[in-house]
Amino acid sequence: MSTVDVDEALLVLKIAFLVLLYLFIWRIVRTASRDLRLPQESFVLTPDGARERRERQVAGRLVVLESPSLNAGHAVGVDSAALTVGRGAQNDVAIERDDFASASHARFLPRRDGLWLEDLGSTNGTFVNGARIPAPRRLAPGDVVRIGETELRYEI
């Protein structure tokens, strides 16, 4: 291979390398600018007090429709605190006689944007309107949540 060929090959490689490098950067910048249009949260942590005031807007209750452990029609109020549900006695909503529920089954998380339901790695899963939830999910009023053999309806 003559020297001229080497120089030409290197120039082509160099240009290809740089083009590809900037292409890679451009791909990421494109998505990053798309993210900017998403709702932004603050980078700095807000004091707990301020957060609670906002979260208190999420109020509502969970009405028991059916349960081996709780009376139907019993209502649990939801305020700014998280509510845990499970067979264990340490839960906020303890369903000790529900044999299909796990000890720590699920958690209701009130957030600024609404009430979220999160499965805590239960054996039998957590269901919303009959469908098992693979990831935490925001509840809409009227949604029916099933944990073990206990069914709860979220009402505002």
Partner 1 sequence: MSARNRELVNLVVVGALMTLGFASVYIALSEQVSTTSLSAAGFFFALYLIAHLVARSTVPHADPYLLPMTALLTAIGLTEIYRLDADDAFRQGIWVVVGVALFASTLIVLRHDFRRLEAYRYLFGIGAIVLLALPALPGIGATVNGATLWVRAGPIQFQPGEFAKLMLIVFLAGYLQEKREVLAQGRLKDFGPLLMIWGGAMLVLVQTNDLGSALLYFGIFLAMLYVATGRVLFAALGAALFIGGAVVVHQFVPRVQERVSTWLDPWADPEDDGYQIIQSLYSIANGAFGGTGLGRGTFYNTPGGGNEGEPLIPFAKTDFIYSALAQELGLIGVSALLLVYMLFVLRGMRIALLAGDGFSKLLAAGLTFGFALQTFIIVGGIVRLIPLTGITLPFVSYGGSSLLANFVLVAGLMLVSNRANARAA
Q: Are strands 106-111 and 83-86 parallel, antiparallel or unpaired?
A: antiparallel
Q: How many CA atoms lie within 13 A of 20 on its CB side?
A: 6
Residues of span 42-101 touching partner 1 by CB under 8 A: 42-48
Looking at 19-27, 60-68, 98-106, 142-150, which segment touches partner 1 (CB under 8 A)? Answer: 19-27
CB of 111 to partner 1, least distance (A): 8
Residue choice 41, 71, 77, 89 for contact with partner 1 (CB under 8 A): 41
Q: Are 149 and 97 in contact (CB under 8 A)?
A: no
Q: Does 4 bind partner 1 (CB under 8 A)?
A: no
Q: Which of 58, 60, 65, 136 binds partner 1 (CB under 8 A)?
A: 136
Among 76, 96, 116, 144, binds partner 1 (CB under 8 A): 116
Dist. CA 137–CA 156, nearest whole Å? 17
Give CB contacts under 8 A, 24+ apart, made by 4-8: none
Query: Measured from the CB atom, is 40 or 71 closer to partner 1?
Result: 40
